Chains A and B, each alone.
Chain A
Amino acid sequence: MDIQAIVESFPYYLQAMGTTLKLAFGGIFFSFLIGLLVGFIRYFRVPILKQLADGYTELSRNTPLLIQLFFIYYGLPKIGIQLSKELCGVIGLSFLGGGYMAESIRGGIEDVPLIQIESGKAIGLSRVQLARYIIFPQGFLRSVSNIGANALFLLKETSVFSAIAIMDLTNVTRDLISMYYLTKEYMLMLVISYVIILVPMGLFISYIERRVRYGVFGD
Chain B
Amino acid sequence: MSKKILEVKHLQKCFGEKEILKNVSFSIQEGEVLVLLGPSGSGKSTLLRTLNGLESIQKGEIYFQGELLKGEEKQWQAIRQKIAMVFQNYELFPNLTVMENLLLSPTKVQKREKTTVEKQAKVLLERIGLGEKLKSYPRELSGGQKQRVAIVRALVMEPTMILFDEVTASLDPEMVREVLEMIQDLAKERKTMMVVTHEIDFARRVADRVIFMEEGEIISDYTAQEFFEEQKNERITRFLNSLTH
B residues near A (Cβ < 8 Å) are 52-54, 73, 76-78, 80-81, 84-85, 87, 89, 91-96, 104-105, 108-110, 137, 139-140, 153-154, 157
Contacts and interface: CB of A to CB of B under 8 A. Distances in A.
Contacts of B109: 123-126, 129
Nearest to B92: A119
Contacts of B104: 123, 125, 133
A123 B94 contact: no
Contact of A124 (B96, B105, B139): B105
Nearest to A126: B77
A134 B100 CA distance: 12
Interface of A: 115-116, 118-127, 129, 133-134, 137-138, 141, 215-218
Contacts of A120: 93
A216 B100 CA distance: 14
Contact of A138 (B78, B85, B95, B108): B95
Contacts of A133: 93, 96, 104, 108
A125 B95 contact: no
A171 to B, nearest CB: 43
Contacts of A121: 52-54, 76-77, 80
B110 A118 contact: no
A216 B77 CA distance: 27
Contacts of B140: 218
A119 B84 contact: no
6 contacts: A118-B54, A123-B105, A129-B109, A138-B95, A217-B139, A218-B137
Contact of A123 (B54, B73, B84): B84
A52 B77 CA distance: 31
B121 to A, nearest CB: 13
Given A122-B84, A133-B93, 20 more contacts: A116-B93, A120-B93, A121-B52, A121-B80, A123-B80, A123-B104, A123-B154, A124-B77, A124-B80, A124-B105, A126-B77, A127-B73, A133-B108, A134-B93, A138-B93, A138-B95, A141-B95, A216-B95, A218-B94, A218-B139
Nearest to B94: A216
Nearest to B153: A123
Contacts of B77: 121, 124-126
A125 B108 contact: yes
B80 A122 contact: yes
Given A216-B95, A216-B139, A115 B105 contact: no
Give the 9 A-B CB pairs with smallest separation, nearest first. A218-B139, A119-B91, A123-B105, A124-B81, A122-B85, A124-B109, A124-B80, A137-B95, A115-B91
Interface centre among A118, A122, A137 (most CB of B within 10 A): A122
A214 to B, nearest CB: 8
Contacts of A124: 77-78, 80-81, 105, 109-110, 157
A78 B88 CA distance: 63
B78 A122 contact: no
Nearest to A137: B95
A21 to B, nearest CB: 32
Contacts of A116: 91, 93
A133 B53 CA distance: 21
Contacts of B76: 121
Contacts of A118: 54, 87, 91
Contacts of A119: 87, 91-93
Contacts of A217: 94, 139
B157 A123 contact: yes
B71 to A, nearest CB: 14
Contacts of A137: 95
B93 to A, nearest CB: 6
A140 B198 CA distance: 37
A128 B151 CA distance: 24
A124 B84 CA distance: 9
A119 B54 CA distance: 10
Contacts of A122: 52, 54, 80, 84-85, 87
A134 B108 CA distance: 13
